[in-house]
Amino acid sequence: MDLFSNLALGFGIALSPFTLILAVVGCFLGTIIGALPGLGPSNGVAILIPITFSMGLDATAALVLLTSVYYGAMYGGRISSILLNIPGDEPAMMTTLDGYPMAKNGRAGDALVISGVASFVGALFATLALALVAPYLARIAYKFGPAEYFALYALAFATLGGMASNNQAKAALAAFIGLAIALIGLDNNAGFTRFTGGNLHLADGIDFLVAIVGLFAVAEVFVFIETHGKDTALGIKLGKVTVPWRDLWATKWTMLRSSFVGFIAGVLPGAGASLGSFMTYMMEKSIAGKDGGFGTGVSKGVAAPEAGNNAAAGGALVPMLTLGVPGSGTTAVLLAVLMTLNITPGPTLFRDRPDVVWGLIAALLIANFVLLVMNVPMVKIFVKILMVPPAVLLPGVTMISFVGIYSLSGSYFDLVLMILFGVVGWAFRKMDIPTVPVILGILLGYQMENNLRHAMTLSGGEWTYLFSSPIAAVLWIAAVLGFVAPMFLRRYLKKPQLIED
Amino acid sequence: MKTDRIFGVVVILVALALIASAYNLPAGNIFDKLGPKAFPIVIGTGLIISAVFVVLRPDAEPDWPEMRTIGALSIATVVLIAYAYALRPFGFLFPTAIAAGVLSYQISPRKVPAILTGIGLSIGLFVVFKYALGLGLVALPRALMG
């Protein structure tokens, strides 16, 4: 079996003491980041990227550390959802619907354990499925030429835009803004600069890390200054944490079903973990029917979205690793990690760098068990961390962002640019313009233009070439559907709002 | 309403400038059929189309904060920019303590905790960055270090 020899290779790398320590450290940091209100997987990983690179870790080590943080933050997100009714990140939102009522009914400990186990089931299922599915998808990806890649990027923007916003025009605008920012700097193959306004600092373009840290982390500080961090008081008492075996047994099918659906949602480009938790919660709600009591604090309502979003987090790694197309904001950040490491995701990654791919998958399997231990028996430690007031936390995040970007580029200009992105991110959030398409545009703009130019050179300037192959045609149709369909479905698929006290 | 309309118009103007500037780029050749100008023009057109939709069908006006909060946000921005320029000449410790303290005060306006936060973060982060992660930070102003 290919799979077993591959996994053996992976474990050979991941079981070295140094890599194991990195995985444990990453899981620990990730759970803290996820648990802190206002920090989630995307901004958590974002602020750590520059620091990680300044430490000079090699590719596998850096990847293991940062994906452990990613998985850990997905686990940890449920802690603030359940105890504070504040989701750290969008995927954790559905967990508040039953988790917070459960905590108010005095079952906070049960909710934390059930959701922790559900996270484990979802993440483990997704990691195994990733190991099975990714090599096959990588083989299909060999059939992709420049026209197909161009269509695939269009699909990623379309579905992400369709899902991410209530206003399609604003999602499209955000994507184009990102693509326009990516144009700045050296031209792809002609060797001169474009759209720099003669500014030398802009000659090699705007670093995507500067944009990501600005839009995700610095913007958060402005949001907290505006709200004065008022709504973070811990009003829930957490007693002794015991394992509610009966609830766990009763939710086994919920967890498995949700893991499966969540994984599929994660694999779809542009969909990601938010869709995964949303779909699984709605699915379980309709299976349970009116008497299921969803929304009043039932264990299935906690298990479903947590299994769903963790499975989706693993599923989102499939298109990211095999095609280089991220499925969500967080995987966009992970793509930035790969690009900074000079690793080109895609089918060739599986052939040329099996050590990276399988080392990563093995590390993720190990990380899951570490996270189960941290999030069930040791959960009380992380609950203490929720008591860090925002007035300490957010300045800390800002300073870490500054040091990270500064030690990476050593340029004042990049720091000022980062602040600027922070202000823009805050304003965009007020105006309901999603920032994830902007990031995706900055990340993919270069590749998208390259593929378009290749395709046109191959075809001698014939535009219809872009739609000529069956794969490309299907991708374009999916792109149009993915962008347009949510407009009509929105009436039926209304997202539940946060419960008010 | 108003915000979306103004923003849409600004985007359209920027996009027009982008397209105009793209036209001055050289055309493609046999090895690169499209050349460097086509993609920017596509992006510019996309910007204009989506911005026109935003102008024609704007969302409800976002609830912008009151003047005092805008003031606090502006102070935070200025402090951060000053911090960016202070990092190299003045070293890590002093600028970080001041910037972190000011930010902390803007989030929760209590003087003593804010000062303590600034000092604590400055020293704590320095120790972590310098000794645990091995980043090359300079603690004190250049002049003092000789």
Query: Is residue B46's pLDDT more than 50?
Result: yes
A399/B99 Cβ within 8 A: yes
- CA dist list (Å): A194 to A188, A201, A241, B40: 10, 13, 59, 10
pLDDT of residue B80: 94
Asked if A195 and B18 come within 8 Å (Cβ–Cβ), the reply is: yes
Determine the pLDDT at residue A490.
65
* A176/B contact by beta carbon, under 8 A: yes
Which residue in B15, B18, B34 is closest to A452 by CB distance?
B34
Quick check: A449 and B47 CB within 8 A?
no
- Note whether A363 and A356 are within 8 A (CB): no
Choose from A176-185, A191-200, B24-33 the range with maximum mean pLDDT.
A176-185
Residue B7 lies in a domain: yes
* pLDDT on residue B77: 94
Interface probe, candidates A28, A388, A453, chain B, greatest B C-beta count within 10 A = A453
Residue of A nearest to B85 (CA): A412
State the count of interchain CB pairs (< 8 A) between A and B. Answer: 186
List the single best residue of A226, A415, A450 to mutate versus B (max B Cβ within 10 A). A226
In a domain, B61, yes or no: no
Average pLDDT over residues A209-225: 88
A56-70, A227-241, A332-346: the lowest-pLDDT one: A227-241
Q: Looking at the structure, do residues B133 and B91 belong to the same domain, yes or no?
A: yes
* Helices and strands in chain A, H and E counts: 23, 2
The pLDDT confidence band at residue A501, using thresholds 50, 70 and 90, is very low
Which of A193-205 are b and which e, b meaning 16 or more Cβ less than 10 Å from the residue's Cβ? bbbeeeeeebeeb
Averaged pLDDT score across all residues of chain A: 84
Contact check, Cβ <8 Å, A395/B99: yes
Q: How far is A452 from chain B (nearest CA, A)?
A: 8
pLDDT at site A494: 56
Identify the CA nearest to A294 among candidates A122, A468, A496, A43: A496
CB–CB of A358/A10 below 8 Å?
yes
CA–CA gap between residue B16 and residue B35 (Å, rounded): 19
| Residue that the structure tokens 């800002």 belong to | A398
- What ipTM did this prediction achieve? 0.92
Neighbour count for residue A321 (Cβ, 10 Å): 26
- The total number of residues shown for chain A amounts to 501
Q: Quick one: B83 and B121 in the same domain?
A: yes
**Residue B26 belongs to domain spanning:** 2-56
Neighbouring-strand partners of residue A193: A186
Over residues A297-353, the pLDDT tens digits come to 888 888 999 999 889 888 888 888 888 888 677 788 888 888 888 888 888 888 888
pLDDT at residue A232 greater than cutoff 60? no
Decide if A183 and B39 are in contact by the 8 Å CB cutoff: yes
Q: How many CA atoms lie within 13 A of A100 on its CB side?
A: 20
Q: Are B77 and B30 in contact (CB under 8 A)?
A: no
Residue where the block lists tokens 């086509």: B38
User: Residue A193: pLDDT band by 50, 70, 90 thresholds?
Assistant: confident
Q: Is residue B73 a contact partner of residue A226, using CB atoms and an 8 Å limit?
A: yes
Model confidence over B104-119: pLDDT tens digits?
998 888 888 899 999 9
Quick check: B51 and A222 CB within 8 A?
A: no
- To the nearest whole Å, the CA of A184 is away from the closest chain B CA by 10
User: In three state form, how does the secondary structure of chain B look?
Assistant: CHHHHHHHHHHHHHHHHHHHHHHCCCCCCCCCCCCCCHHHHHHHHHHHHHHHHHHHCCCCCCCCCCHHHHHHHHHHHHHHHHHHHHHHHHCCHHHHHHHHHHHHHHHCCCHHHHHHHHHHHHHHHHHHHHHHCCCCCCCCCHHHHC
Q: Looking at the 3D structure of chain B, how many domains does it have? A: 2
Which residue stretches of A268-389 are H helix? 272-288, 299-315, 317-323, 329-340, 347-352, 354-375, 379-385
B136 and B96 assigned to the same domain: yes
Q: How far apart are CA A25 and CA A71, in angstroms?
A: 12
Q: Are both B8 and B71 inside the same structural domain? A: no
**In a shared domain, residues B106 and B40:** no
Chain segment A254-305, per-residue pLDDT in tens? 899 999 999 988 887 766 677 788 888 888 888 888 777 888 888 888 899 9
Give the residue from A435, A21, A265, B18 showing the smallest Cα distance to A282: A265
Interface contact A391-B107, CB threshold 8 A: yes
- Chain segment A20-46, per-residue pLDDT in tens: 888 889 999 999 888 887 677 887 888
Residue with token string 């306004």: A197
Q: Are residues B126 and B82 in the same domain?
A: yes
Return the domain boundaries, chain A: 2-489
Range from A400-404, A417-421, B137-141 that averages highest in pLDDT: A417-421
Considering the domain architecture, whether residues B37 and B74 belong to the same structural domain is answered as no
Whether B40 and A389 lie within 8 Å, measured CB to CB: no
Shared domain check, B98 and B33: no
Residue owning tokens 């144009």: A183
The shortest C-alpha distance from B18 to chain A (Å) reads: 8
Residue by residue, DSSP assigns A187-229 as -TTT-SEES-TT-GGGTT---HHHHHHIIIIIHHHHHHHHHTT
Is the same domain home to B131 and B89? yes
Residues 6+ apart with CB under 8 A from A309: A74, A77, A91, A92, A94, A95, A122, A262, A273, A274, A276, A277, A280
Residues of chain A neighbouring B49 (CB-CB closer than 8 A): 172
- How many other C-beta atoms lie within 10 A of the C-beta of residue A69? 30
Highest mean pLDDT among A268-282, A378-392, A436-450: A436-450
Same domain, B81 and B131: yes
Residue B132: burial class (beta carbons within 10 Å; 0-12, 13-18, 19+)? exposed
- The residue that leads in pLDDT, A105 or A495, is A105
